[in-house]
Amino acid sequence: MPELTYREAVRDALATAMRDDADVFLMGEDIAEMGGSMGVTHGLVDEFGPERVRNTPISEMAIVGAGIGAAMQGMRPVVEIMYEDFLTLSTEQIVNQAAKHRYMSGGQLKVPLTIRTQGGAGWSPGAQHAQQLEAWFVHIPGLKVVFPSTPSDVRGMLWSAIYDDNPVIVFEHRLLYPVKEEVPEKLEPIPFGKARTHREGEDVTVIATGPMVHRSLEAAEEAERNGISVEVIDPRSLQPLDEDAIVESVKKTNRAVVTHEAITRMGFGAEVASVIQYQAFDWLDAPIERVGAKFAPLAFAPVMEQFLVPGPEDVLQGIYRTVGRNGD
Amino acid sequence: MATEIKLPRLGQGMESGTIVKWLKNEGEPVKKGEPLYELDTDKVTQEVESDASGVLLKIAVQEGEVPVGQTVAVIGEQGEEVSLSVEQPTDGGAPASAEKPAEAPEREPERERGREASARAEADASDTKPQAATDGRIKASPLARRIARERGIDLAQLRGTGPEGRIVAEDVERAEAAAPAAEAAPAPVAAGEVEVLPLTSIRKTIARRLTEAWTVPVFQLTIDVDMERAVALREQLVARAGDGAKPTLSDVLTKVCASALMRHRALNAHFSEEGIQRFPTANVGIAVAAPQGLVVPVIKNAESLTIQQIANARADVVGRARDNKLRTEDLSGGTFTISNLGMFGVQQFVAVLNPPQAAILAIGSVEERPAVRDGEIVPRPLMTVTLTCDHRTVDGADGARFLEDVKAFLEEPGLAL
């Protein structure tokens, strides 16, 4: 099995889809010759030409709006929003248009649009280039939202996003691009709504998304050395959500830590905690712990950034709290 | 200025006590020195006096177990605002911490969310107290509740080991494992006929102390004593008792043992890891079957008391033991114990050591038994006594020499002078 980086896995999914299907094309800021600001689409313009790998003006509203129009006309566009912070500029198109047309047309219109974007802290990008805004979009009926954390996941899920007849937002993370993983020889679609269990355990379930999956696995190793067996689950798709997998795991371990890099308050983890408390109430042996960023704009200063954003140690402390340890 | 009334340490080794009943209600005036509440410690139930005068503004712990040093009430002036904001010790389980003033334990900042508020509301977040003690609300995880419900376990009887004293699943499972007999008892006895008596403090103490005693390497020595003269002595003393308590054979034995202990200090001792403590006076404990269970009040300095004085002291302390009015000091400081079952017709028995004491003497009944005197079998009033010794402290010959003197003093009381 070939080993790909997360960045290469995204590129491979895009290229494979474009080779297979003339309806698939890309739009975004500087995605052609420059290969996108993160280098994800590097080289694709050489293979597929500027008609299918299209640079756009700096207008996120226009990018998404044009994508919606093309999708409704039968194309399968994949648009890139350079930083998810800039989704704010295209929110009207995403929330009021893309998410609504299928419903408001009684199913006569479909919007098979894929919106790729990335963000995340850990490299001092400051308050306007590192937010984690997935929760905003999970809140909107009519959208699907995925947040793959590994190369094989992003490859298979991006494929599923392209071939889904509904608008899908694919959240990528800046720090995940160099992460490597063996991926299947032939691209296999990964259906939405199926969580992935990265590690089985008996004492605590950690439900983690994006980069927190890797940080949680680190924390789980450390906890294991201290005699606590940790299960790590990545829902991968936030909407739809694999509630069964989460609930089943918590029923087994009786304790849960929910973690994401996004700010804790009103974050996606609140919804997961709610699902757990409702469906597994009688199985809970400790309050559900939540680990996320502190409620503050992200700081430029690396030490302050590190202070605000959760790391493996924060997950570990959460794990310890669920089992009633002080964690020292 | 309001005064916080904290649970006092009433004796060495006391870590907690169980508040049984308040003798004053909130809002009532209280004078310093007046009995405020009844406290059940592992030794006695006693009334605790108020350390302050004023109005009983707030009872913080209505009833249940409380670690030493925890605030149980606030006394102040009428109308004074009471805030029990001072955090109660949360780690009261550790003996060392019980001495600490009730300082606010630092909370992890991460636990701020909601946790703090609920902990403060209960203001008694001690993880040592049985949950029954909190004001009606038992802190238990949903899983613990479900398991308890399914298996018919009463959460109120459990002690929570989770954060802030919460009962977690493990506590319920441990409780179930600890009582497998009750759980697994098959049908022959209908469930309704099994009477379950909750363990009182005193019962728990008896269980703990005697289980502890079982780990001590002991040996027993038995000797027969001709009691003719001791019985006669006792009769003379009864005739002279006047207004005092009538001396019993036990009182004679107390005196005789005290005299023998002064001559055999090895037996008047405690064992501890730091060393063997030998005591200068004989403080003789008398095992008493009180209604609430076995208690051992102590006759202090028995070697320097007359038998009549011993009888008076014994009558007082035994009377109070039967009325459950013993004080901690009645029970502490024993250096040796006598257990007498002779009045029940028991000929001989082996007593379980009363640690850390080095020895205990088990007294059987005085009865006419055949004995050989000058080659003839004759009936004699004999009594069999059995000495149990802690072999870590006492060697066999020490015990034997002590018993030899006890026998000699009983058979010829003048020798005890």
Read off the pLDDT of residues B133-161 as tens digits, 9 standing for 90 and up: 445 678 899 999 988 888 888 888 888 88
Query: B197 in a domain, yes or no?
Result: no
Phi, psi of A178 (to 5 degrees): -85, -5
> CA distances (Å), B178 to each of B171, B181, B190, B193, B199, in order?
10, 9, 21, 21, 14
Query: A327 in a domain, yes or no?
Result: no
Task: Say whether both B118 and B11 belong to one domain.
Answer: no
**Which of the residue ranges B107-116, B249-258, B356-365, B369-378 would you say has the lowest mean pLDDT?**
B107-116
Q: How confident is the model at residue B52 (pLDDT cuts 50, 70, 90)?
A: confident
CATH number of residue B130's parent domain: 4.10.320.10
Q: What is the pLDDT of residues B208-218, one digit of tens each?
A: 888 888 889 99
Sign of CA dihedral B56, B59, B62, B65: negative
CB–CB of A282 and B143 under 8 A?
A: yes
Domain boundary among B74, B99, B124: B99
Mean pLDDT, consecutive 10-residue stretches, chain A (328 aa), reads 95 97 97 95 97 97 98 98 97 98 96 97 93 97 98 98 98 97 95 98 97 98 95 98 98 97 97 96 95 96 96 97 75
Query: B404 in a domain, yes or no?
Result: yes
Task: Say whether both A318 and A171 belong to one domain.
Answer: no
Query: A38 in a domain, yes or no?
Result: yes
Question: Does the beta carbon of A322 lie under 8 angstroms from any beta carbon of chain B?
Answer: no
Task: Say whether both B284 and B364 belong to one domain.
Answer: yes
Task: Say whether both B88 and B211 belong to one domain.
Answer: no
Q: Supply A246's token pair.
A: 């989460």
Integer Cα distance of A148 and A209 in angstroms:
8
Integer Cα distance of A11 and B147 in angstroms:
51
Question: According to the model, what pLDDT value does residue B192 have?
Answer: 60
Residue A297, burial from CB neighbour count under 10 angstroms (0-12, 13-18, 19+): exposed
Question: Does the beta carbon of A328 lie under 8 angstroms from any beta carbon of chain B?
Answer: no
CB–CB of B142 and A324 under 8 A?
A: no
Share of chain B above pLDDT 70, in %: 82
Task: Say whether both B213 and B353 belong to one domain.
Answer: yes
CB–CB of A285 and B169 under 8 A?
A: yes
Integer Cα distance of A8 and A35 in angstroms:
12
Residue A97, burial from CB neighbour count under 10 angstroms (0-12, 13-18, 19+): buried
Average pLDDT over every residue of B386-395: 94
CATH number of residue A159's parent domain: 3.40.50.970
Task: Say whether both B84 and B163 belong to one domain.
Answer: no
Query: A49 in a domain, yes or no?
Result: yes
In chain B, residues with a C-beta closer than 8 Å to the C-beta of A326 are 108
CATH number of residue B40's parent domain: 2.40.50.100
**Nearest C-alpha in B relative to A251:** B143
In chain B, which among 56-75 make CB contacts under 8 A with chain A?
none
Query: B345 in a domain, yes or no?
Result: yes
Average pLDDT over every residue of B77-105: 50
In chain A, which among 217-256 make CB contacts under 8 A with chain B?
254
Task: Say whether both A283 and A221 belong to one domain.
Answer: yes
Question: According to the model, what pLDDT value does residue B188 have?
Answer: 53
Task: Say whether both B215 and B116 belong to one domain.
Answer: no
CATH number of residue B236's parent domain: 3.30.559.10
Number of domains in chain B: 3
For B11-162, strand residue ranges (E) read 16-22, 29-30, 35-40, 45-49, 54-59, 64-67, 71-76
Q: Supply A164's token pair.
A: 């889904």
Which residues, in sequence order, are CB contacts of A4 under 8 Å at separation 6+?
Answer: A12, A151, A155, A180, A181, A183
Indicate the residue type of A250.
V
Q: Supply A86's token pair.
A: 């800039």
Q: Answer for the pair B53, B340: CB distance below 8 angstroms, yes or no.
A: no
Task: Say whether both A29 and A73 belong to one domain.
Answer: yes
Domain boundary among B99, B119, B147: B99
In chain A, residues with a C-beta closer than 8 Å to the C-beta of B143 are 254, 282-285
Question: According to the model, what pLDDT value does residue A305 have?
Answer: 96
Examine the pLDDT at B100 and tell me if it is beyond 80.
Answer: no
Integer Cα distance of A214 and A225 in angstroms:
17
CB–CB of B115 and A283 under 8 A?
A: no
Examine the pLDDT at B408 and tell me if it is beyond 60.
Answer: yes
Number of domains in chain A: 2
Q: Which domain range does residue A258 map to? A: 196-322
Task: Say whether both A224 and A142 belong to one domain.
Answer: no
Active site residue A60: yes
Q: Answer for the pair B342, B364: CB distance below 8 angstroms, yes or no.
A: yes
Question: According to the model, what pLDDT value does residue B120 have?
Answer: 41
Q: Answer for the pair B340, B287: CB distance below 8 angstroms, yes or no.
A: yes
In chain A, which among 289-308 make CB contacts under 8 A with chain B?
290
Task: Say whether both B219 and B349 belong to one domain.
Answer: yes
Q: What is the pLDDT of residues B255-281, one digit of tens each?
A: 999 999 999 999 999 998 889 999 999
| Cα angle B265, B266, B268; round to 5 | 60
Residue A75's SS3 state is: coil
Q: Supply A43's token pair.
A: 């080289």
CB–CB of B146 and A283 under 8 A?
A: yes
Task: Say whether both A145 and A12 belong to one domain.
Answer: yes
In chain B, which among 185-244 make CB contacts under 8 A with chain A?
none
Sign of CA dihedral B174, B179, B183, B186: positive
Query: B104 in a domain, yes or no?
Result: no
Integer Cα distance of B196 and B182 in angstroms:
9
Task: Say whether both A307 and A238 belong to one domain.
Answer: yes
Residue owning tokens 């015990």? B399
Which of B107, B139, B141 is the best residue to mutate to test the A interface, defined by the most A CB atoms within 10 Å of its own CB?
B141
Q: Answer for the pair B303, B258: CB distance below 8 angstroms, yes or no.
A: yes
Supply the ipTM of this predicted assembly: 0.74
Question: Does the beta carbon of B174 lie under 8 angstroms from any beta carbon of chain A?
Answer: no
CATH number of residue A290's parent domain: 3.40.50.920
Question: According to the model, what pLDDT value does residue B117 have?
Answer: 40
Q: Answer for the pair A327, A320: CB distance below 8 angstroms, yes or no.
A: yes
Question: According to the model, what pLDDT value does residue B114 have?
Answer: 40
Q: Supply B353's token pair.
A: 């050591």
Q: How confident is the model at residue B174 (pLDDT cuts 50, 70, 90)?
A: confident
Which residues, in sequence order, are CB contacts of B11 under 8 Å at separation 6+?
Answer: B41, B43, B328, B329, B331, B332
Question: According to the model, what pLDDT value does residue B102 have?
Answer: 41
CB–CB of A287 and B143 under 8 A?
A: no
Question: According to the model, what pLDDT value does residue B191 have?
Answer: 54
Question: Does the beta carbon of B141 lie under 8 angstroms from any beta carbon of chain A?
Answer: yes
Examine the pLDDT at B221 and tell me if it is beyond 50.
Answer: yes
Identify the helix (H) or strand (E) that includes residue A110. none
Question: According to the model, what pLDDT value does residue A213 have?
Answer: 98
CB–CB of B146 and A282 under 8 A?
A: yes
Task: Say whether both A26 and A141 belong to one domain.
Answer: yes
The string of DSSP letters for B31-67 reads -TTSEEEEEE-SS-EEEEE-SS-EEEEEES-SSEEEE
Q: Which domain range does residue B407 map to? A: 204-416
CA distance A237 to chain B (A): 28
Task: Say whether both A85 and A144 belong to one domain.
Answer: yes
Task: Say whether both A240 and A100 belong to one domain.
Answer: no
Question: According to the model, what pLDDT value does residue B125 have?
Answer: 39
CB–CB of A254 and B169 under 8 A?
A: yes
Query: A274 in a domain, yes or no?
Result: yes
Give me the active site residues of B, please.
Answer: 391
Query: A289 in a domain, yes or no?
Result: yes
